[in-house]
């Protein structure tokens, strides 16, 4: 595709038949595209970095405050995948005893992995965090929202321009129509 063909498709060629509203629409398309690239890119970069930082900070907190230890079961589990009394060592080395989740297997003397906090109390396992994929998702959503907002502006402007064009065509047809048709 040559330069002239591209300019014609974008509405930027010099054509005496092109109306002012067509030229205005060509400018609107160019401005909205530049805004999408500049504002969308800047906003996506900012939100992506913020999401990455937050997820990395949360993962570091989990690593500093949640620990996986092994507990030995002291009782028979109350039900399959139930709880039983177990004994484990806290991160500071003190022995702890309390209820632990047994998983599918379990009997007296069975070792099961559990998660504890920095004081040695049983805690929930930390969620798996992937800061890079979380940031990529935030970037995609941000770009989608910016594109949607600019698309709504484009549709509104196109609607206004089309209304103006239709009024202009109607006024011209009132002048030309009687000369072309038998109806006066």
Distances from the Cα of 172 to the Cα of 57, 166, 176, 179, angstroms:
66, 10, 6, 12
Query: Do 151 and 25 meet the contact criterion of CB atoms below 8 Å apart?
Result: no
pLDDT tens string, the chain, 184 residues long: the values are 788 887 777 777 777 777 888 888 889 999 999 999 999 999 999 999 999 999 999 999 999 999 999 999 998 887 777 888 999 999 998 999 999 988 776 678 889 899 999 999 999 989 999 999 999 999 999 999 999 999 999 999 999 999 999 999 899 888 888 888 776 5
Alpha-carbon gap, residue 36 to 140, rounded angstroms: 13
Phi and psi at residue 89, to the nearest 5°: -105, 135
Give Cα 42 to chain centroid, integer Å: 15
User: Nearest Cα to 112, choosing from 145, 148, 132, 82?
Assistant: 82
- What ranges do the domains of the chain cover? 3-60+129-179, 66-117
């Amino acid at each position: 595709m040559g330069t002239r063909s591209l300019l014609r498709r974008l509405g930027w060629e010099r054509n005496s038949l092109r109306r002012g509203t067509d030229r205005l629409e060509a400018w609107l398309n160019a401005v909205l595209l530049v805004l999408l690239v500049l504002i969308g890119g800047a906003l996506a970069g900012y939100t992506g970095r913020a999401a990455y930082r937050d997820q990395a900070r949360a993962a570091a907190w989990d690593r500093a405050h949640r620990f996986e230890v092994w507990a030995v079961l002291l009782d028979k589990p109350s039900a399959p995948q139930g709880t039983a009394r177990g004994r484990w060592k806290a991160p500071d080395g003190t022995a702890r005893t309390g209820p632990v989740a047994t998983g599918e297997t379990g009997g007296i003397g069975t070792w099961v992995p559990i998660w504890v906090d920095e004081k040695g109390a049983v805690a929930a396992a930390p969620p798996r965090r992937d800061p890079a994929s979380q940031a990529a998702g935030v970037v995609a959503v941000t770009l989608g929202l910016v594109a949607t907002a600019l698309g709504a502006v484009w549709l509104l402007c196109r609607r206004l321009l089309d209304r103006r064009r239709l009024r202009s065509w109607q006024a011209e047809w009132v002048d030309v129509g009687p000369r072309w048709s038998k109806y006066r």
